[in-house]
Amino acid sequence: MDVSIGDFNVAMEIKSKGIELKVARPNGGGHRGNLVVTGTTLKWFNGKTTTNPKTIKWDDFIDHMNSL
């Protein structure tokens, strides 16, 4: 996957609005979606949608990843 952050020239703490990662297929492929990381949740917006994200709390995400 190609994952990019628009501008990251400063150290910053993720606050309530979070940081958005744009995810695309490798080598200029199609847009897959956006991942918004906040201090409390991760939100996946599939494709070009801007509403109804798949949301998971950090503790649940960590538990899920550790169970793999």
pTM of the shown model: 0.77
SS (H, E, C) the chain: CEEECCCCCCCCCCCCCCEEEEEECCCCCCEEEEEEECCCEEEEEECCCCCCCEEEEHHHHHHHHHHC
Q: Find the Cα–Cα–Cα–Cα dihedral 38, 43, 48, 52, rounded to 10°.
A: -120
Q: Which domain holds residue 26?
A: 2-67
- What's residue 17's pLDDT? 79
| Reported confidence tier of residue 65, pLDDT bands at 50, 70, 90 | very high
- What's residue 9's pLDDT? 63
**Between 1 and 59, whose confidence is greater?**
59
- What's residue 8's pLDDT? 63
**Quick one: tokens of 28?**
């200029």
Segment 4-61, tens digit of pLDDT: 666 666 666 677 778 888 899 998 889 999 999 988 899 999 998 889 999 999 999 9
